[in-house]
Structure 1
Amino acid sequence: MTQTVPMLPKLGAIAVVQYEGRFLLVKRKKEPNADTWGFPGGHVELGETALEAAARELAEETGVIGRAARYLTNVDVITRDAQGAILFHYLLAVVVCTYESGSPQAADDVSDAGWFTVEEAAALDQSPNVQTVFDLMNA
C-alpha cells in the first residue's frame, strides 16, 4: 500500500546584511525564485534556530561571515501553478545579521553575489518581498 505524505510548509531563514550602506544580495540558482536576486538563506535544519540557520546559510552561499543579531519579521512565500496547486510553501524568518568579515563569492545555491544599495537593487530582477525587507530596515 502506498502512503502519501501531506505537503507541509517548510521553515527557512534569510540573512539581511548591511555594510557600508549596501545590502548583500544573491542570485538564486534554484526554484522558487530561480534567476532572481534576494537575500542569502535557506532551510532551517532540525535542532537549529532560525538565527543559527541565517548565519550558516550566509557563510555557505557567499563566504561572508555575519553574526545573527535579531529577527526582523516573517515572510510567507507561497508559489502556485496555473491551476492553483501549491508548488512551494515557505515561512521565512528574516534575520538581521551584523557583518564580520569576507567578500561575497557565489557558492552553493547561488550563481552570483554582491553588495548593492537600495537604488542599485531596484534595477535588478528581485525576488518577492525584497523591497518589503528594505522598507522595514529603513523604517
Structure 2
Amino acid sequence: MSKAPRVGCGVVLLKDGAILLIQRLRQPEAGSWSLPGGKVDWGEPTPVAAAREVAEELGVVAQDLKLLCVVDLIDQGDGDHWISPVYLADSFTGEPALMEPHKHAAFGWFPLGDLPAPLASSAAVAAQALKTGS
C-alpha cells in the first residue's frame, strides 16, 4: 500500500508579543500545545483553509495571511506525514474562544521566550521562524 503525505495548515496569531496556542486532544501530537489550524480540503487554497480553521477553532477572523514557514511532521510510528504551510496573520478580529472543546483542551497567549511544553512541532518551527525572521 502506498502512503502519501497529507496537507494541513497553521496560523500564527500574535498579540502584545505573545503567540496564541491551543492544546490538542487528538493525534497527531495529542496533549501538545499547537498552532490553530488543521486539514486542507480538496480544492481549497491553503491560506483559505488556514483562515477557515482559525474561525472554526477560535471564532476569530484572521486577516492578511502571509506565509511564515512550512512544517514537515513525519511520525514513522503512526505512519503519518503532514506537510503544513504556516501563515502569519497580520491582524485578526474577534475575541478567541474555545469553539471545539472536543478537539482542544485549552488555549492561551504565551511569550515567545516562555512557550509551554510539550510544544507541537509546528509551533516550535513557527516560533523559531518568528525569532530568526526566516
Normalised by the shorter chain, which TM-score bucket?
A: 0.7 to 0.9
Residue in 2 aligned with 1:106?
98
**1:68 deviation in Å?**
4.2
**1:57 deviation in Å?**
0.6
Which structure 1 residue ranges, 5 or more long, are not aligned? none
CA RMSD of aligned residues (A): 1.6
Alpha-carbon contact 2:71-2:125 (below 8 Å) kept:
no
**1:29 deviation in Å?**
1.3
Residue 128 of structure 2 corresponds to residue 135 of structure 1: yes
Residue 80 of structure 2 corresponds to residue 88 of structure 1: yes
**1:104 deviation in Å?**
2.2
**1:132 deviation in Å?**
2.5
**TM superposition score normalised by structure 2:** 0.87
Alpha-carbon contact 1:26-1:110 (below 8 Å) kept:
yes
| Letter in structure 2 aligned against 1:137 | L
Which structure 2 residue ranges, 5 or more long, are not aligned? none
- Rounded Cα–Cα distance in structure 1 between residues aligned with 2:87 and 2:18: 16
**1:103 deviation in Å?**
2.2
Residue 9 of structure 2 corresponds to residue 16 of structure 1: no
- Rounded Cα–Cα distance in structure 1 between residues aligned with 2:95 and 2:109: 9
**1:110 deviation in Å?**
1.7
Alpha-carbon contact 2:22-2:106 (below 8 Å) kept:
yes
Residue 110 of structure 2 corresponds to residue 116 of structure 1: yes
Larger Rg: 1
Aligned pair count reads 130
TM superposition outliers: structure 1 runs of 4+ over 4 Å: none
Per-residue displacement from partner, 1:20-50 (whole Å, max 9, x unpaired)? 2111100111101001101011011112111
Alpha-carbon contact 2:5-2:82 (below 8 Å) kept:
yes
Identity rate, percent? 28
Alpha-carbon contact 2:98-2:107 (below 8 Å) kept:
yes
Residue in 1 aligned with 2:34?
38
**TM superposition score normalised by structure 1:** 0.84
Per-residue displacement from partner, 1:109-131 (whole Å, max 9, x unpaired)? 2221121111331x432112423
- Rounded Cα–Cα distance in structure 2 between residues aligned with 1:95 and 1:111: 23
Alpha-carbon contact 1:52-1:68 (below 8 Å) kept:
no
